[in-house]
Structure 1
């Protein structure tokens, strides 16, 4: 459902061959009040070679959970133009597709299940043409919404479901809050100190969504090729080249990490199979250890060819929620998450979505993200829980994942 139209000057299109440097801080600063939004890649990472800078949206859409028709209407209303629908689909938006209903109070009240804006002129530009200057890191002091013991008890409460095979893995999360901070400043700081290939900055009427995600959820190019690149498995970077290589080898050899990773890959291969030409689903890279600024991640790239009769809204309805942030089997994992977390997640574990008028699409996983609101900053973290997970270690991991916002 299209709720409104915003008039304003159009941003000139950006072309692939335009290599003049754009200073990101200046670009954002000179477009205050014009809803500037950024998808920021990171050189040297798979998928990080291109970025998107847009401003001056003309239309915006808010959707309820599961509203495939609303997505389809928005996408089709501008087909044949040169713009992009850019915004977020929350984790809760996808729950109706697995016959689940979001339950409990929202972690971040006021954020709708989905919000997208239409920017009338948009095209990718090389990430190398964007200058990100060194930035001071905002000082944030976070407190958990609930005591550590509550999170540990939730991890332990999942154990019977794991023992009896109702679920093999479920991703449990928690929320932290700090004082208010300017979202653009936080985004620039993260981009300077910890670049990620699927980072994003989205100003909205509800607050600023800052995302420093390393993970691609789904891309759809002009040839109808689908690609997903799930991440599961982590080791810290070493202090020198020898210890760094040791950490990489340890990650590749860890049977628990490999089993969890393969579980998610199989889930996503199955999801892609429902919308792809028979026999076209392929693992292009399996168990690829990819170095990020402070950690190694296991990444697998899966591709397929979409069935010609399907549109983007339908494909999303078959893929959401994303398997890497639910667990497996997907529906059972979502049921356990609903039962144990007892609150709606909001944008976290959802997707920043860019749907272009040429029919292509790019979506990330909203992790390593913050909701910067007028009165507070909300950050959520979590991890995949399996049969041999230890509640103490899982709780510590939630604080470790928070560290990038508290440095």
Structure 2
């Protein structure tokens, strides 16, 4: 994808059309409609905000303003890879507000919990008399950004579910405008969650403050490109690395790639390369470190396409790494994650040991690795196939 200077494009639609003209993306009517909707929101934000200013420069440089009129944000939901994040990122870059924030929703909630804990500690130390942490936390967040953009809005944690209604009511009262992407409609958030009836007021609050848009683009564009590339490559070597890099380039589609990290039960899980729901690791990153099922679950909740480089042939002395690899593949398989992997051998030849439970358990892992290359499995991850060629190299 080209990295044209976004300032050249005064609207999301013009930026989108430029990418189409350059051949970086294919034109899609659903995406075009969403681009136009983002532009209407930019116009509304600009005109409403400017009405509270004595000059345009005051808003553009983000000085504090009086209470704003109520502006409805956007909640965009749809299947993986339909362009939600791409278009929201264009909006975030183009909206001329200094006080704006773009974050993965789980990162935002981790920040909220840290602020709440810090407030409670301040109350304990006698540094504040405000017992309820929500108002001051909301005030601080609103001061930081009045346009909030969240990628992958999802609620799986009961601690998050229980505070969302009060937190966002306070944010909306302070004029915060929410833009979010999600894989599910608002009514399906926290479905089957513990004490969900206590969460439902947030759903109604959310629908009052955003326009809900279903992005029904025709296909997963990034993963469609992966259909023309192998997903399991062996043996290791220069050609395998070249093909892995080609698959990574297709999956990331020119997006900016950067490291990421996740907080899981008090420790940090590092993601060496990540962008737009896609992450890349080495085998050592995932299996030579003391990681477990909770860490792998945190990864798949954020990333729906996972690349793993350089899986070696394992044996009994490396059974701890083999055990982690078994758990990792179980988590990826159970959550229907799209896996692209390079390995020293075919799945049935990756573990050599006659003793230990790992030898028996690895049979299931090998079977799953074969299945994860199948048309049916990849289709279940959200990819649509239109060809009959095999998806693996060396298998």
TM-score, normalised with respect to structure 1: 0.23
More strand as a share of residues: 1
- Which is helix-richer, 1 or 2? 2
TM-score by length of 2: 0.24
Q: Please say which structure displays the higher CA radius of gyration.
A: 2
